[in-house]
Chain A
């Protein structure tokens, strides 16, 4: 890390760090840029920071870390064309392809049900539930029919946002992780002495099932599971 990057890291605000990191990126100093992006990301969870840091990781050949950052950015801004494009690019670029990729129909339904980011969807779902419950309570206490019709309409909208919230809960799953080393060996137990089961590679999205000191049990697409060193995978959503 250069002296300039260190000074900026210590004194600069997130926006300034981000801007300086962008300049380092433009200059091809991707590792220095990542240091500043890391510092900015610790202070504020912003779409642009995750996205740009993902680009810097990709330029250094770190497919897993790049994909993790793109997915974090996508969770904050799900319909950003740059983010979705880069996610697709990295998924196509990585050596291990997903044997069961999401079908276009499933992706279309998911996009229709999640027009907003996770927090906005959850906020509207809660607000709508409150208004819906209030409307229903007033209808029950006063017997005014228009309040009943209002409650029915609000129920429909609430279900829409409620399903969106459930989808987001599935997407933003703390068990989701990504392989961040060139090759990780899956073993039958949490230790080097156990039999090797499979080898997975940088950028593969996995699910963390269990944690043990130094090892995690992961499940890879297709259902196969095995223990790998915990440093071989990075959790996407904290």
Chain B
């Protein structure tokens, strides 16, 4: 297993030769799940200024969340001969997605017709966030002939941070400054600082030290910044910025020739208090962004033909821990398949802060023809200045997919193997007959049904009530039917008269009048005398004249029934008088 080694070459180091060297290293070989580690791919040589970007292997166990590139030149002077070597470092930030031993395959580089490959690297990913101390970096000796000895000169390595208490994810700038009282012949980093718990980005790494006269510890010295690094804490607690070690040679003037005195100087450790991000108020859309950001989005192309995917770009712009912002989760969109996003970064350090953009490019695969609307996407951030969360939204976007073919896979191919090639509306109707509802003009008349129904029901209820009363009240029943029965009998009498059945005629008229009077007032007239009938009818309020007519007619009929020859009455007159009595009473 190859240990991760990072060598930072400043200047005045000895070149190792004119050949191109291609190496890959990681900053640590054991890392916690979700913690970032850096894969450093370096190309070194005397003329590597135009080498292409190396080709990374497949990294199924990692998320490649960002990359950066740096270049350094070292110049060596050995016995008056000057040698220059360039080193280009491609630094990739990887976050492991699973635990276990993950292998980063060989990286490849094609340059001038030659293919260079690196050794595979094995990284152990643990569940916990324990980070082992990085292994000792390779040492690049100042001189190939002798080991350096500790310096006895006045040299110091000071480290300073711009803030000692920050939120998780908030930027801390660490600056290492080298101070000396003499003339330094060469200087290089012997051991870089341990930065466990930080995501580090180099801000300033000079190719040539720029010495200035400064006051340090009460004395005038020459000071030069040797390294400035942006540090973003990835966890809370007390995090240590480890000591950096420099080794070099000081020029010691002699009588005839100057000699080189080796020295080594270390910085002190610095502790940074990292506050955890508050739980309260944390939006669901928070993906780790700490700083000041804006978001935008666009979809390209706006019309996709032939089932080609479109690309939705979500761009986060601003100042903060851009490299630690995770991709937001898109809401499901009917008819669209959202593929894993690709991350592209463009960082700079204008104003001493990490600025730039992080772009998430989501390939969107339309599953069918249609006009698709990508809703607003919300991303949550934390503002360390206010100590609170805020959200930003992208605008909703639209695109149209046309001519989407069926794709291989269960979603598009039926069990019988038939392939669906596309969808469209059904064709127009071309039948000659127009389907018109004949009821269309009569709708207002439909209410008549309800009116007629209600009327019928009202009549039914009325008749029903009467029928019930007839059943329960015999007097009412007799009174109701009295006139009808009397008229029927008088009609029978008329028929008897026409048939010359005189006795029957008088008998029918007699019965008609007496039963009518009885039914009309619910009295039994058959057993009453004329005087009693007169009294009963008078008590009922019947007109006296009508009562007398009734009694006279009944008497005439009674005489005629039993002595038909003695009667002098005209039967027609009797019948007419009887009808008049029925009408009057």
| Chain A residues close to B by CB (< 8 Å) | 14-15, 18-19, 22, 25-26, 44-49, 51-52, 55-56, 58, 63, 76-77, 82, 85-86, 89-90, 92-97, 117, 119-120, 122-123, 126-127, 129-134, 136-143, 199, 201
Contacts and interface: CB of A to CB of B under 8 A. Distances in A.
B436 A46 contact: yes
B461 A119 contact: no
A94 B435 CA distance: 28
Contact of A138 (B335, B371, B427, B460): B460
A55 B371 contact: no
B442 to A, nearest CB: 8
24 contacts: A44-B434, A48-B434, A55-B428, A56-B428, A63-B371, A76-B435, A82-B427, A85-B425, A86-B425, A89-B424, A93-B370, A97-B334, A119-B437, A119-B439, A123-B446, A126-B446, A130-B453, A133-B453, A137-B458, A137-B459, A137-B461, A140-B457, A140-B460, A140-B461
B447 interface: yes
Contacts of B434: 14-15, 18, 44, 46-49
Classify the secondary structure of A's interface with B: helix
A19 B428 CA distance: 11
Given A26-B428, A117-B437, 11 more contacts: A15-B434, A47-B429, A48-B434, A55-B426, A82-B426, A95-B372, A122-B443, A129-B450, A132-B453, A138-B460, A140-B457
Contacts of A56: 428
A138 B462 CA distance: 11
A46 B435 contact: yes
B274 to A, nearest CB: 41
Contacts of B370: 92-93
B436 A93 contact: no
B439 A123 contact: yes
Contacts of A131: 453
Given A126-B446, A127-B449, A52 B428 contact: yes
Nearest to B459: A137
Contacts of A142: 463, 467
B430 interface: yes
Most A CB within 10 A of own CB, among B368, B434, B443:
B434
A40 B388 CA distance: 63
B431 interface: yes
Contacts of A138: 460
Contacts of A90: 425
Classify the secondary structure of B's interface with A: mixed
Contacts of B452: 130, 133
A5 to B, nearest CB: 17
A199 B396 contact: yes
Contacts of B350: none
Given A18-B434, A201-B373, A133 B335 contact: no
A139 B427 CA distance: 54
| A-B pairs, 7 with minimum CB distance | A137-B460, A141-B463, A133-B453, A126-B449, A140-B464, A95-B373, A130-B453
B450 A51 contact: no
A22 B428 contact: yes
Most A CB within 10 A of own CB, among B428, B434, B437:
B428
A141 B464 contact: yes
A94 B373 CA distance: 8
Given A51-B428, A123-B446, A133-B456, A45 B439 contact: no
A52 B426 CA distance: 10
Given A85-B426, A137-B459, A137-B460, A119 B453 contact: no
Nearest to B443: A119
B426 to A, nearest CB: 4
Most B CB within 10 A of own CB, among A95, A119, A129:
A95
B432 A141 contact: no
Nearest to B461: A140
Contacts of B398: 95, 201
